[in-house]
Amino acid sequence: MATTDQPALSFPRETFAKLSPHPYLLAHLQPSSSASSSIRANGRSPTEFRTAHVNNGSLTHAEGSAVVRIGDTTVVCGVRGEILLASNVAGYRVDKSTSAGTVYNEAKDLDLLVPNIELATGCSPAFLPGQPPSTLAQSLSTRVYSLLHSSGLVDGEDLRIWYQPPNLGDESMMDEEDTEAPEPEIKAFWALYIDILFISLDGNPFDAAWAAVVSALNNVRLPKAYWDPDREMVLCEDSVARSKKLQLRGLPIAVTALVFRAKEQSQGKDRKNWILVDPDMFEEGLCDESVTIVVDCGNGKTKILGLSKAGGTTVGKRQIKEILNLAETRWNDLGHLLKG
């Protein structure tokens, strides 16, 4: 009686990844053959970033906008400007006097930069319609808000609307010292509402959201605004030629890396681990230690504007230096895209 060979029992890659995600990623990073290089399940090396695509000025009804796509994570950011009268600000200090050791920051104290993040229904399987704002959306909004002010990205002078009162005195009856023009007054401010919408989410949301914010702010043009003393209100000119562009203080870029650790280890030996930059959603579910560095490498100098770490005890000085070097490389590749 003839016998036939039974097919070997095997699973597709997608099934293996769902059934045993940690061994699946470990098998890629630690191949059995020494001739094979370490590679992630998505085909990238541990230090390889996803390709970024940036499109500025996509929204016609916003002062500035940008669409940023990093891999399968896509973010739309629109910046809308509204005028806040100084007379409507309770306790606004015209003299800007501060106590010792404090700095008066109008953009922060008056909430002139207001970010809001929304994760659209369908951006990932975890976000269903009818749900309240997620913890992720709230934490991302807080991180973007904090970095906006700590980095000093937006110059507060660009948000002020000045008025120069006329000199109504009789010059023939006044001395030369008394004919000086009155001091200019701040009549209003521009408040920028920064709306960030995720239409697709596949890991590393903060880096993508921050890149969209920087690109959109770099695209902002505010109309020429002036104080009309007769109407006692602020008016804006329609001429695009007289609008002004925000003068950003640098170009900070965020880079996030995760630490993936092998569970198998011998007694008394160091645990094998890998630094994975620009993680996707699959890798985020397998790592419990993350590091985010915000750098600005303009003028040939590297400035660290933010450094945060969460979970784990693996990352030390050597790993921080490695991530910093990767962040500098990312800045050189991504910087010209965000500038448009």
Q: Where are the domains of the chain?
A: 52-89+104-167+179-245, 250-340
pTM of the full structure: 0.88
Confidence of residue 3 (pLDDT cuts 50, 70, 90): low
| 216: helix, strand or coil | helix
Tens of pLDDT, residue by residue over 195-221, are: 999 999 999 999 999 999 999 999 999
Confidence of residue 300 (pLDDT cuts 50, 70, 90): confident
Q: Does the pLDDT at position 8 exceed 70?
A: no
| 138: helix, strand or coil | helix
Confidence of residue 98 (pLDDT cuts 50, 70, 90): very low
d(CA 48, CA 326): 9
Mean pLDDT of 288-316: 92
pLDDT number for residue 187:
92
| 260 secondary structure, DSSP code | E
CA-based end-to-end distance of the chain: 73
Tens of pLDDT, residue by residue over 28-86, are: 898 877 777 889 999 999 999 999 999 999 898 999 999 999 999 999 999 999 999 98
| 276 secondary structure, DSSP code | E
DSSP 146-203: HHHHHTT-B-GGGGEEEE-----S-GGGS-TGGGSPPPPEEEEEEEEEEEEEEEE--S
Which residue would you say has higher pLDDT here, 305 or 340?
305
Tens of pLDDT, residue by residue over 125-183, are: 888 777 777 899 999 999 999 999 999 999 988 999 999 888 776 555 555 555 677 88
Q: With 0-12 CB in 10 A as exposed, 13-18 as middle and 19+ as buried, what is 290?
A: buried
CATH number of 52-89+104-167+179-245: 3.30.230.70
pLDDT number for residue 255:
97
Tell me the backbone φ, ψ of residue 254, rounded to 5 degrees: -100, 140
